[in-house]
């Protein structure tokens, strides 16, 4: 096979020219373009990586903050719950105390009302009893009773203590002494005589006995002489009894615990 030297040389030159042209118009430009693009992609990737790292750090920061907020909210919730329970307990205690106070007040009021009612009832009962007794005594009063009363008065007068007698004598130690005898019923001569027999020695000759009718003395006789007073009356007994009754009533009312225990 013949090889033309001119063709051979021409083809070598052609190829070298082709290498040059392709290097100029193809490889260098393409490689340069790809390098620029690769650099751009690398820069973008590094930027993306940087942004990704920033995003990850931001996410981590946000997650930490969310976690912190959750913890704080839980803590605040627990604190609020505890405070609410504490406040609830305090209010419950306050309400309980108020209820207790109201109950105590109510019980006290009830006790007072009960005591007042009982006192009033007992007073009324006592008053009614004594009025009844007085009424009975007044209804039963007759001459025999008046005589008995006069006898009791004389007995009392004659059995005065020495001190009492001294006080009476001192009251009568004056010129023309007057003894006033007050009674709830009319003293006739038959009843006056024993009285005068007892008083006359004390009065002497100048003395005078004045008899007065006084409805306030009840079933009894009262002696008054210049500031000295001596009386005997069923009312005195009744009043003494009533005073004792009231005293006992007062003592009983004064101990509400006893009352409460008996309620």
Partner 1 sequence: MEILRLNQISPDQVILWQWGFVKITATLAYTWLVMAILVLGSWLVTRRLSTGPRRSLWQGVLEVVVTSIRDQICEICHEDPGPYTAFVGSLFLFIGMSNFLIIFPGYVAPTSSLATTSALAICVFLAVPIYGISRQGIGPYVKEYFQPTFIFFPFHVMGEFTRTLALAIRLFGNIMSHDKIIGILLAVTPLFFPIVMHALGLLIGMVQAYIFSILAMVYIASAVQAHEEGEPANKGSR
Residues at the contact surface with partner 1, assessed by CB under 8 A: 1-4, 6-12, 14-23, 25-27, 29-31, 33-34, 36-37, 40
CB of 48 to partner 1, least distance (A): 13
> Could you tell me if 182 and 213 are in contact, meaning their C-beta atoms sit under 8 angstroms apart?
yes
Shortest separation between residue 46's beta carbon and partner 1, angstroms: 16
If the CB atoms of residues 14 and 132 are measured against partner 1, the closer one turns out to be 14
Displacement of CA 47 from its chain's centroid (Å): 78
- CB nearer to partner 1: give 16 or 60: 16
Nearer to partner 1, 38 or 113 (CB): 38
Q: State whether residue 226 is helix, strand or coil.
A: coil
Q: How far apart are CA 15 and CA 80, in angstroms?
A: 90
**Helix 189-203, helix 143-158: angle, nearest 10:** 10
In the complex, least distance from residue 56 CB atom to partner 1, rounded to whole angstroms: 25
Q: Which is nearer to partner 1, 19 or 51 (CB)?
A: 19
Distance of CA 125 to the CA centre of its chain: 33
Q: Rounded to the nearest whole angstrom, what is the least distance from the CB of residue 1 to partner 1 in the complex?
A: 5
CB 158 within 8 A of CB 194: no
Per DSSP, helices labelled H in 141-161 are 143-158
- To partner 1, the closest distance from the beta carbon of 54 in angstroms equals 23
**Strands of the sheet with 228-233, listed across from one edge:** 208-213, 178-183, 220-225, 228-233
- In whole angstroms, the minimum distance from the beta carbon of 52 to partner 1 comes to 19
Q: Which residues lie across from 181 on neighbouring strands?
A: 211, 223
Q: Are strands 178-183 and 220-225 parallel, antiparallel or unpaired?
A: antiparallel
Task: Compare residues 26 and 248 and give the one whose CB is closer to partner 1.
Answer: 26
* Nearer CB in complex with partner 1: 26/263: 26
């Amino acid at each position: 096979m013949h090889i033309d030297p001119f063709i051979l040389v021409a083809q070598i030159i052609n190829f070298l020219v082709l290498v040059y042209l392709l290097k100029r118009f193809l490889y260098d430009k393409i490689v340069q373009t790809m390098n620029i693009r690769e650099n751009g992609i690398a820069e973008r990737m590094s930027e993306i990586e940087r942004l990704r790292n920033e995003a990850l750090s931001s996410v981590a920061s946000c997650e930490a903050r969310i976690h912190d907020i959750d913890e704080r909210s839980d803590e605040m919730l627990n604190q609020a719950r505890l405070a609410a329970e504490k406040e609830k307990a305090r209010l419950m205690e306050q309400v309980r105390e108020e209820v207790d106070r109201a109950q105590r007040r109510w019980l006290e009021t009830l006790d007072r009302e009960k005591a007042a009612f009982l006192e009033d009832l007992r007073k009324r009962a006592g008053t009614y009893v004594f009025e009844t007794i007085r009424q009975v005594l007044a209804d039963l009063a007759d001459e025999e009773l008046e005589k008995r009363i006069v006898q009791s008065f004389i007995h009392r007068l004659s059995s005065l203590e020495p001190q009492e007698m001294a006080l009476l004598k001192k009251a009568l130690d004056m010129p023309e002494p007057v003894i006033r005898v007050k009674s709830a019923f009319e003293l006739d001569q038959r009843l006056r005589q024993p009285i005068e027999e007892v008083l006359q020695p004390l009065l002497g000759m100048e003395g005078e006995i004045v008899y007065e009718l006084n409805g306030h003395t009840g079933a009894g006789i009262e002696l008054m002489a210049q500031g000295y007073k001596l009386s005997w009356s069923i009312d005195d007994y009744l009043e003494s009894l009533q005073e004792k009754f009231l005293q006992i009533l007062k003592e009983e009312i004064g101990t509400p615990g006893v009352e409460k225990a008996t309620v």
